[in-house]
Structure 1
Amino acid sequence: MTWLITGGAGYIGAHVARVMAGAGERVVVLDDVSSGVPGRLPADIPLVRGTSLDGDLVRSVLAGHAVTGVVHLAARKQVGESVEQPLRYYRENVGGLATLLQEVVDAGVGRFVFSSSAAVYGNPPAVDLVTEDTPCAPVSPYGETKLAGEWLVRAAGRAHGITTTCLRYFNVAGAERPELADTGVFNVIPMVFDRLTRDDAPRVFGTDHPTPDGTCVRDYIHVSDLAEAHLAAARRTAGPGTDLTVNIGRGIGVSVRELLAVIADVTGDRRAPVVEPRRAGDAPRAVADAGLAAKELGFTARRGVEEMVASAWAGWCLRHPEAARG
């Protein structure tokens, strides 16, 4: 059994590759290293540089490494950028997936795990927990490409007898170790770190949401837990050709104020945040119902927000030593 992991040199992908290899799975990575970092991978995991849009390359990797299963993480994933460049997002996220799936079908690969996102839900209704049956209404081209990707994966699976699993994960944070931390500044925790490092106060967008403390509530999952969820999903696909779609989160809501308090404890920077008006389209609450993942995958997240923030901060300080001195 050999698994091809696309995007396996990325922040999430490298954690997945390491967890799967550490569990005894044979792994090969395909990554164009546009945002991936080859040094995140140990020397014994082969890295092929390229994109899933290149059918000839995918075909050679599947054959050359006797691949029998695929974990597809490669995608562009910045919401704002997707609004500005929708054609690029559809071409790379959906077109790349279609090319990959065609080669998977032609090669007779029977197991496929798709890295989706809670962005497929858009701004979910005011419910305590978002279930897999919550209506999908993405509000960005990025979310649209993830939902379209799910449709394509399921359709190909049904048509060609491929066992498929789509993982809709919520807000990812943390790192297994500092050198594996996220290098982008697109999510709330690194965005706060960035402001603190520049000697600016963190920002809170709206304190009048219908939540206990007036700030938005989100579900955060440690990237190492997420990697373990991918391993569980990959192993589940050993069964007959079926499809499964599951949320990956902790099922625990954390408000922006609560998150900032944890960041203050970890960094020692306790300056008061700047309160700004609500942003259009921000859902007051988006927290996963994690029950189906526990039932179908035997997966439950183990790490808390404090560990996420502390490990993310260690990674940030590795790349920004001036923050540690501050």
Structure 2
Amino acid sequence: MILVTGGLGMIGAHTALALTGFGQEVVVTSHRRGDVPSFLAGDVAVETLDMTDRDAFLALGKKYDITEIVHLAGSSPGEDPIAFFRHDLAGLLNALDAARAWGVRRFAVASSLGNYIGRPEIPWHEELALPEADLPLAIVAFKKAVEPITVQSLQGTGIEPVLLRIGSVWGPLMDPESPIITIAPYVSAILRGEKPEARYADDGGDFCYAADAGRAIALLTTAKTLPHRVYNVSSGTRSTNRQIAEALEAITPGLHLDLIPGRQSGPGADPYLDISRLATDTGFTPAFNVTTAVADYVTWRTTNPR
């Protein structure tokens, strides 16, 4: 059985969905969220778990025969970065403790594309040395620390660490007013009958649809062998506000979205992740492009609040 922590969140739920689609038995944990997405109902075991409670975490091993762990659980930083680091580090260490106690085969953990901040090369690939850089958010700093902590903690155990440098994931179950990945609030405004504020046409990023991210993580979790430790998980391409606006206009009669020519920061390009290693080692290819992802998300949001 595969354990997915944070398994009722956006990325976790889509990872669990992909794993069940591969015929795997899955148990997901969640702390604050109790509602099981319709696409998972009845297909996974669900456990309420405070990640910082070591005894409760280890007790899962008495109830389930867990062979792999996908650690995606985490909190959102508040005003106190120390409190955030303390909470999420405790969760990570308890997950690693459980992996060692249970002797799992593989431990996959969420890292971030933010690890590459400071590298001028585009696209970002796994062989790049990670620079010392000023990081914009506490969560990005923590994800950068996750990698060496995980590797050091599992040394000599026979447990295989898999470091998931996850891109900007969006889709069903994400915060509909997310201030970070703003596709969702853009769609939310349209669904309310409002006209979103004009955006720069050529601004964008590496936006990976949640179903694709979940399938990529599931492939990395279940692969018989993996020749690498670090994998970029994303769409492997750059999407722009122009493409998103055109996709929304194509499925919404009479909709016209205003765009500001060019990029807000001037000439240049937004970085994105090279996923050739992921594709070579697992056979992964994204099932969604901008057009199909936008259409699928709008359909989902017409009957779901997030």
Q: 1:217, 1:287 within 8 Å by CA — same for their partners in 2?
A: no
Identity of aligned residues (%): 22
Corresponding position: 1:158 with 2:155: yes
The alignment status of 1:227 with 2:214, answered yes or no, reads: yes
Residue 276 of structure 1, CA deviation: 12
Q: What secondary structure, in the 3-state scheme, does the structure 2 residue paired with 1:102 have?
A: helix
Shift of residue 294, structure 1, vs aligned partner:
1.3
User: Retained in 2: the 8 A contact 1:201–1:274?
Assistant: no
Distance, in Å, in 2 between the alignment partners of 1:119 and 1:232 is: 22
Give the counterpart of 1:37 among 18, 35, 38: 35
1:59, CA displacement in angstroms? 0.8
Instruction: Tell me by how many angstroms 1:275 deviates.
Output: 8.4
After superposition, where does 1:1-326 map in structure 2 within 5 Å? 2-32=1-31, 34-35=32-33, 37-40=35-38, 41-77=40-76, 82=77, 84-122=79-117, 124-125=119-120, 127-134=121-128, 135-136=130-131, 137=133, 138-175=135-172, 181-186=173-178, 187-196=181-190, 197=192, 199-204=194-199, 207=200, 215-236=202-223, 238-239=224-225, 244-268=229-253, 269-273=255-259, 278=264, 284-319=269-304
| Alpha-carbon distance between aligned partners in 2 of 1:85 and 1:266, rounded to the nearest angstrom | 43
1:29–1:46 Cα contact (<8 Å) kept: yes
Q: Which residue of 2 aligns with 1:323?
A: none
Amino acid at match of 2:256: R
Distance (Å, rounded) in 2 between the aligned partners of 1:36 and 1:307: 29
- Counterpart residue type for residue 257 of structure 2: R
* 2:274 alignment partner, SS class: coil
Q: Distance in 2 between matches of 1:55 and 1:23?
A: 30
Secondary structure, counterpart of 1:286 in structure 2: coil
Whole-angstrom distance in 1 between the partners of 2:260 and 2:88 = 36
Q: Which amino acid aligns with 1:185?
A: E
Measured in 2, the distance between the counterparts of 1:153 and 1:90 equals 15
Distance apart, 1:53 and its partner CA:
1.3
Q: Give how far 1:258 is off.
A: 2.4
User: Using a 3 Å threshold, how does the CA distance of structure 1 residues 277 and 310 change in structure 2: closer, same or farther?
Assistant: closer
What per-residue deviation string (whole Å, max 9, x for no partner) do you get for residues 57-114 of structure 1? 111112210111101111125xxxx373422331232221012111221222231111
Normalized against structure 2, the TM-score is what? Answer: 0.86
Question: In terms of mean alpha carbon deviation, does 94-103 or 116-125 score higher?
Answer: 116-125
- Equivalent residue letter for 1:252: T
Matches of 1:132 and 1:98 in 2, distance apart?
24
User: How far apart, in 1, do the equivalents of 2:262 and 2:249 lie?
Assistant: 19
Amino acid across the alignment from 1:272: D
Cα 1:63–1:313 shift into 2, 3 Å: same
Unaligned stretches of 5+ residues in structure 2: none
CA distance 1:271–1:232, shift in 2 (3 Å): closer
Q: 1:221 to 1:47 in 2, by over 3 A?
A: same
Task: List gaps (5 residues or longer) in structure 1.
Answer: 176-180, 208-212, 321-326
Query: 1:132-180: per-residue Cα shift (whole Å, max 9, x none)?
Result: 13335432111111111122112122242211111112122334xxxxx
Counterpart AA for 1:64 = K
Question: SS at 1:308's partner residue?
Answer: helix
Paired amino acid for 2:125: T
Give, as a single letter, the amino acid of the residue that structure 1 aligns with 2:251.
Answer: V
How high is the TM-score relative to the length of structure 1? Answer: 0.81
Asked if 2 retains the 8 angstrom alpha-carbon contact of 1:122 and 1:139, the reply is no
Quick one: distance in 1 between partners of 2:292 and 2:87? Answer: 33
SS at structure 2 position matched to 1:224: helix
